[in-house]
Structure 1
Amino acid sequence: MPLEHDVNDVMLRTTRGGMHMRVIFIGAGEAFDEHTPNTSLLTLPDSYDADAVLLDCGFTAAAAFFRHAPPKLHADGLAAIYLTHLHGDHFLGLPWLLHRLGEDGRTKHLDILGPADTREVIPAASEIAYPGSFARLPFPVGFVEVSPSHDITLDRWRFRFAPSLHGQPNLAVRLERDDKILCYSGDGAPGPQSASLAHNADLLVQDSYFLEKDKDPDGASGHGSAEGSIELARKSGSRRLALVHIARCVRHGRREELMRLAESVKDVQVLIPQPGCVLTL
């Protein structure tokens, strides 16, 4: 299987039975990569019709959502949005997204999960972007504060959270539905708590800003590495690993080295997803 995907649907079946979870990579880039939208994931049950969860929505991810999400999700299909933290490349697409959902006829309640300040920050950002727009949304928005000490269940989605090593508090998430498990780091090198979320994940999606682990051995920069992500996938028993939030100088300037590293791993399937890639777990 190729490591970089331009196809619409790549079937990655686990050995376990049950229903499937689909993951669409809306974006896979870091904050300032002009070629690759900010890292954002759309998770769906077997059907593409509704009950989807969007993980992060940065500057460039909002437009990419409408480029890559199934059309049936463009109005009422989203059940919830989870923000790992409040850096712009993870949340500042929301004023754009909310406004467009309203224009597309959304009427269904939308839950936004995130850090404590989310309830104040999102309406304020919307007011700056489009004055009065948040108050005029034709659908209700609820805010749910998340913390490492409380798991959350929304419909059949189960969320668990843990802090990673990042400059601003960032909560990685373990998202489960039926017997499928997705673990997404948001930003940051894995800390002891966030690493534990990855246990037996069907898909681990990890901040891999650097190529080599020794570029940031203590996580002081607030970002992980491709080598560190591979190490975590092995230790956690994750079945597959997607490298995201790769520094633009690595993704575009050291692509061959990155590919060689990924291809050298035989015990974990390592993926370098492109925007629009769809994985079925």
Structure 2
Amino acid sequence: MLRVTFLGTGGSLPTPERNPSAIIINREGELMLFDCGEGTQQQMMRAKTGMKALSSIFITHFHADHILGIPGLIQTMSFHGRTEPLKIYGPHWVHEFARILSSLGYYKLKFEIDAIDLSPGDVVKRDDYSIVALKTEHSIPSLGYALVENMRPGRFDRQKAIELGVSPGPLFSKLHKGEAVEVDGKTINSEDVVGEMRPGRKIVYTGDTRPCKAILEASKDADLLIHDSTLASDQQQWAIESMHSTSEEAAKLAKEADVLKLVLTHISSRYSDNPTQLLEEAKKIFDNVIVANDLMELDVPFRDKN
């Protein structure tokens, strides 16, 4: 499973239709939160994402609409008996932020917060995937993030393995893992029955940013690009001054990067209940695009490229 749930899709301010920024990714049961605007924990309850399996929070930057939901969330998890440490990643100042979190309210947390300072290019390695911190262009120090899965083994040709004398069972598993096996004095190599390695999945989340080179490069062939789309093209100058992106700019970047799907988010309150203008402008450039809505879920499937 690789599922993205959009908990907050609004820009700067909450509206009746949209909470501030937050997405949660469920990867094989592990939950990762990217930004955490106010009201995020209630959105998690509405979406039934759960909280117990939350391993990490990745903060793009320290504007209030991206972090104000964290104090309430950690207090709730502590109240529910969490004891496992929570990792909070972010740009410079994340250690001070974690210290403040731990002292808020007349209530001592029952678990530790591990703050990890990231810079552009840093990689958080997990068993079979990584989170890459990306340089973005906003009005304060900021990061985007790419979740990049490791390459997968190629397809196993069961019929060919049998024709070569390999019996179904443990030897199949060894071959699929890349090991050679011996059958009746004959060596069967993995590449004899296993195709080329296949790509894992890639999700890029920009946070607040102008279109930039680092996001473009990281988004090459991404399965899903979640891009700042605060404004329409008639507000281009304001997008530049506030260091956000228009839907048209996000679509141009998605097209150049050859991503599979683009999701527009961080929607200004002026389009909160009717983002049609944003969608129409983006679709003129890049067809496979949608505007995120609160509580929307997207499953990201594997795709073969060989």
- TM-score, normalized by the shorter chain, greater than 0.5: yes
CA contact (8 A) 1:45 1:52 kept: yes
SS of match in other structure, 2:240: coil
Aligned equivalent of 1:5: none
Aligned equivalent of 2:130: 158
Deviations 1:138-193 (A, max 9, x none): 12221111111321113444111222221011111111234111100111112112
CA contact (8 A) 1:29 1:37 kept: yes
CA contact (8 A) 2:2 2:25 kept: yes
Q: Answer with 229-238 or 188-197: which moved more.
A: 188-197
SS of match in other structure, 1:119: helix
CA contact (8 A) 2:247 2:279 kept: no
Show the 5 A alignment for 1:160-179.
Answer: 160-178=132-150, 179=200
Aligned equivalent of 2:281: 261
Seen in structure 2, the aligned counterparts of structure 1 residues 213 and 145 have a Cα distance that, compared at 3 Å, is: farther
Quote how far apart the aligned CAs of 1:106 are. 1.4
Deviations 1:7-51 (A, max 9, x none): xxxxxxxxxxxxx411111111112132201121111124xxx32
Q: Take 2:264 and 2:299, find their aligned partners in 1: how far apart are those partners?
A: 17
CA contact (8 A) 1:116 1:146 kept: yes
Q: Take 2:296 and 2:226, find their aligned partners in 1: how far apart are those partners?
A: 13
Aligned equivalent of 2:226: 205
What amino acid is the match of 1:28?
Answer: T
Q: Take 1:79 and 1:154, find their aligned partners in 2: how far apart are those partners?
A: 12
Aligned equivalent of 2:51: 74
- Residues 1:190 and 2:211 are matched in the alignment: yes
Seen in structure 2, the aligned counterparts of structure 1 residues 62 and 30 have a Cα distance that, compared at 3 Å, is: farther
Aligned equivalent of 1:12: none
Seen in structure 2, the aligned counterparts of structure 1 residues 141 and 256 have a Cα distance that, compared at 3 Å, is: closer
Q: Take 1:223 and 1:189, find their aligned partners in 2: how far apart are those partners?
A: 5
What amino acid is the match of 2:34?
Answer: L
Q: Take 2:218 and 2:98, find their aligned partners in 1: how far apart are those partners?
A: 27
SS of match in other structure, 1:249: helix
SS of match in other structure, 2:4: strand
What amino acid is the match of 1:110?
Answer: L
CA contact (8 A) 1:207 1:229 kept: yes
Q: Take 2:2 and 2:290, find their aligned partners in 1: how far apart are those partners?
A: 17
Given the alignment, which residue of 87, 98, 103 partners 1:111?
87
Which one scores higher on RCO, CA 8 angstroms, separation ≥ 6?
Answer: 1
Aligned equivalent of 1:26: 7
Percent identical pairs in the alignment equals 25
Quote how far apart the aligned CAs of 1:52 are. 1.2
Quote how far apart the aligned CAs of 1:119 are. 1.2
What amino acid is the match of 1:166?
Answer: H
Seen in structure 2, the aligned counterparts of structure 1 residues 116 and 262 have a Cα distance that, compared at 3 Å, is: closer
Q: Take 2:259 and 2:70, find their aligned partners in 1: how far apart are those partners?
A: 31
SS of match in other structure, 1:219: helix
CA contact (8 A) 1:213 1:227 kept: no
What amino acid is the match of 2:51?
Answer: H
- Residues 1:37 and 2:40 are matched in the alignment: no
Given the alignment, which residue of 100, 118, 137 partners 1:146?
118
Q: Which consecutive residues of structure 1, in runs of 5 or more, have no partner in the other structure? A: 1-19
Seen in structure 2, the aligned counterparts of structure 1 residues 162 and 256 have a Cα distance that, compared at 3 Å, is: closer
Q: Take 2:48 and 2:129, find their aligned partners in 1: how far apart are those partners?
A: 19
Q: Take 1:190 and 1:94, find their aligned partners in 2: how far apart are those partners?
A: 27
Quote how far apart the aligned CAs of 1:194 are. 2.4
Show the 5 A alignment for 1:10-25.
Answer: 20-25=1-6
Aligned length: 250
Quote how far apart the aligned CAs of 1:213 are. 7.1
- Residues 1:240 and 2:261 are matched in the alignment: yes
SS of match in other structure, 1:54: strand
- Residues 1:280 and 2:299 are matched in the alignment: yes
Q: Which consecutive residues of structure 2, in runs of 5 or more, have no partner in the other structure? A: 151-199, 301-306
Could you list the structure 1 runs, at least 4 aligned residues long, displaced by more than 4 angstroms after superposition: 262-265
Aligned equivalent of 1:4: none
What amino acid is the match of 2:80?
Answer: D
CA contact (8 A) 2:275 2:291 kept: no
Q: Take 1:182 and 1:213, find their aligned partners in 2: how far apart are those partners?
A: 29
Larger C-alpha radius of gyration, 1 or 2? 2
